[in-house]
């Protein structure tokens, strides 16, 4: 009998599962900021994901301690550069609460109006950029056209296109220009008349739905565990909105207009649908504020402040429903003209941590779809 010869051919690591570490980023600000994702892959499937943050850290919280209560507004409106007015608002609300200051009614309604216009501007950016990240270039052109309509009226009233610097402790910088409310109402109507483009171009696109439906499911339990808020949390069925549940500004009087948009699926598509429907509602809220302003008699929009503004010793916490979620402001004062401590709880910081829960088990091809659906600004993370 002829002896059998066996030959073993080496095939390296392919004979068994092999982990590979892949760095996504740090990227250019075209991805809403410089973020790095450290992924551990098994083939094309993500086994572990770690968001690595801090590339844009500018130490805003430390700088607050070296600026007086008028100057910190400038620092506050920059960490989420798409929500500058809303960022200013949270800081002045905290300082006014510390001072026990009442803001004129006209200023309260104007703040509510401008906060909702800022919400629309924020959401339009993501309504255009998210399809772009999935290969659809057309929606972002429409999104920027609508943004320009609203940017014109925001620039006219404040003088700024991104960093408005229009809030002041005790109210607003100044009253509205003559005829501004008419132009603002026309801009809101124009934008609303064309918002169905996003339903047709994006939600009606079978490729977009195929890339997002059932992808990146975030459970309500994970929402609560990571402190996720805003459209992302509501896309998972968590029915919470500070404008309704703990009203501030004039939201307590807008309950018949305010609609808290939720979905139950918790996937990328649900988050986008929440964002789009919330944009429609923000336009309705802006119209309601314009109606109320038309009924108000002329009056002041701010309070007269002392030359040197000092908050009494103590601490307070104010929070707002920013476009991307809950923003919190913990203010500690030692009775000086500068804050002893101003701690920011930014929406994007909590929201992005949920990627450690969302990405494992998914394919690398779905990573961009999931990442884009988190609607974050990295400056809001690296405050």
pLDDT-derived band at 8 (thresholds 50, 70, 90) equals very low
Mean pLDDT estimate for the chain: 91
Peptide bond into 26 cis (omega under 30): yes
pLDDT-derived band at 309 (thresholds 50, 70, 90) equals very high
2 or 338, greater pLDDT: 338
Most distant CA pair in the chain: distance in Å?
A: 111
Quick check: 13 pLDDT over 60?
A: no
Quick check: 36 pLDDT over 60?
A: yes
pTM comes to: 0.91
Q: Are 174 and 301 in contact (CB under 8 A)?
A: yes
Q: Report pLDDT for 9.
A: 44
Report the percent of the chain where pLDDT is more than 70.
93
Cα–Cα distances (Å) from 250 to 15, 180, 225, 365, in that order, read: 65, 20, 31, 44
Mean pLDDT over residues 285-307, rounded? Answer: 94
Rounded CA separation 308/221 (Å): 47
pLDDT-derived band at 15 (thresholds 50, 70, 90) equals very low
Q: Report pLDDT for 11.
A: 46
Report the percent of the chain where pLDDT is more than 90.
79
What lies within 8 Å, CB to CB, of 316 at 6+ separation is: 94, 97, 98, 330, 331
Quick check: 10 pLDDT over 60?
A: no
Q: Report pLDDT for 202.
A: 92
Residues 199-253: tens digit of each pLDDT: 889 998 999 999 999 999 999 999 999 999 999 999 999 999 999 999 999 999 9
Q: Number of helices (H) and strands (E) in the chain: give both, helices first.
A: 16, 8
Mean pLDDT over residues 7-27, rounded? Answer: 63
Among candidate residues 313, 365, 316, the one with its CA nearest the CA of residue 133: 365
Among candidate residues 214, 224, 187, the one with its CA nearest the CA of residue 351: 224
The tokens for 322 are 């920013």
Q: Report pLDDT for 6.
A: 53
Quick check: 31 pLDDT over 60?
A: no
Lowest-pLDDT range of 27-31, 57-61, 160-164, 259-263: 27-31
Quick check: 195 pLDDT over 50?
A: yes
- At residue 382, the 3 state secondary structure works out as coil
Quick check: 150 pLDDT over 70?
A: yes
Residues 91-103: tens digit of each pLDDT: 999 999 999 999 9
Lowest-pLDDT range of 51-65, 119-133, 169-183: 51-65
pLDDT-derived band at 111 (thresholds 50, 70, 90) equals very high
Q: Report pLDDT for 3.
A: 60
Cα–Cα distances (Å) from 264 to 223, 323, 377, in that order, read: 12, 20, 25
Q: Report pLDDT for 27.
A: 67
pLDDT-derived band at 28 (thresholds 50, 70, 90) equals low
pLDDT-derived band at 5 (thresholds 50, 70, 90) equals low
Q: Report pLDDT for 22.
A: 87
Buried b (16+ CB within 10 A) or exposed e, 140-149: bebbeebbeb
Rounded CA separation 329/351 (Å): 17
Q: Report pLDDT for 264.
A: 95
H/E segment holding residue 342: strand 341-345
């Amino acid at each position: 009998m002829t002896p059998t010869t066996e030959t073993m051919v080496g095939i390296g690591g392919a004979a068994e599962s092999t982990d590979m570490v892949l760095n996504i980023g740090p990227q250019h600000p075209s991805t809403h900021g410089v973020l790095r994702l450290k992924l551990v892959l098994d083939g094309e499937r993500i086994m572990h994901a770690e968001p690595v943050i801090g590339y844009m850290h500018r130490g805003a919280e430390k700088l607050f301690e070296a600026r007086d209560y008028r100057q910190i507004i400038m620092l506050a409106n920059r960490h989420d550069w798409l929500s500058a007015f809303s960022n200013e608002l949270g800081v002045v609300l905290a300082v006014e609460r510390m001072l026990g200051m009442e803001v004129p009614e006209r200023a309260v309604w104007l703040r509510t109006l401008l906060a909702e216009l800022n919400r629309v501007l924020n959401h339009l950016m993501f309504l255009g950029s998210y399809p772009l990240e999935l290969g659809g270039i057309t929606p972002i052109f429409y999104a920027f056209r609508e943004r320009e309509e609203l940017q014109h009226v925001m620039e006219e009233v404040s003088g700024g296109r991104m960093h408005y610097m229009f809030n002041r402790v005790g109210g607003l910088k100044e009253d509205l220009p003559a005829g501004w409310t008419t132009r603002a109402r026309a801009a809101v109507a124009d934008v609303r008349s064309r918002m169905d483009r996003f339903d047709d171009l994006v939600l009606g696109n079978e490729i977009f739905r195929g890339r997002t439906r059932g992808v990146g499911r975030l459970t309500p339990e994970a929402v609560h565990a990571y402190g996720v808020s805003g459209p992302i949390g509501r896309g998972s069925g968590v029915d919470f909105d500070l404008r309704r549940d703990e009203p501030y500004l004039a939201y307590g009087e807008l309950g018949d207009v305010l609609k808290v948009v939720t979905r139950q699926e918790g996937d990328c598509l649900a988050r986008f649908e929440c964002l789009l429907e919330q944009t429609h509602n923000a336009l309705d809220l802006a119209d309601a504020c314009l109606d109320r302003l038309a009924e108000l008699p002329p009056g002041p929009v701010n309070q007269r402040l002392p030359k040197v503004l000092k908050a009494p010793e103590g601490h307070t916490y104010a929070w707002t429903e920013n476009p991307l979620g809950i923003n919190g402001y913990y203010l500690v004062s030692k009775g000086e003209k500068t804050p002893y401590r101003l701690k920011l709880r930014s929406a994007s910081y909590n929201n992005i941590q949920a990627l450690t829960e969302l990405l494992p088990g998914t394919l690398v091809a779905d990573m961009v779809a999931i990442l884009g659906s988190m609607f974050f600004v990295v400056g809001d993370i690296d405050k």
